[in-house]
Amino acid sequence: MKGNFHQLISGPTPVLVDFYATWCGPCKSQLPIIKEVAKELKGKVKIIKIDIDKNQQLVHKYKVKSVPTLTLFHYGKVIWQAAGMRTKNQILNIIKEKT
């Protein structure tokens, strides 16, 4: 995943990464919100989910301490990151503000 992940986040299209775990209750609650954001911003933002238990290198590299953690990348750089639940409007506003 490491090389492929770097390619995904390096382009001109912003990428929102949802670091999650299958055992995480709040992550399951965040999922429908992420899907709504993906639908609303289709073609403007890529959204990918990263299972922290299967991608420890990325967890360490991006200092993910808890889940869910949302990280927004643009041209391969982290432009925003936050742990915890976010509403659809919070996510949309952050993406509009940061990109």
Q: Catalytic positions, please?
A: 24, 27
Q: Which residues pair with 73 in a beta bridge?
A: 15, 78
Nearest partner of 59 among 38, 81, 34, 29, judged by Cα: 81
Q: Are 41 and 13 in contact (CB under 8 A)?
A: no
Helix, strand or coil for residue 50? strand
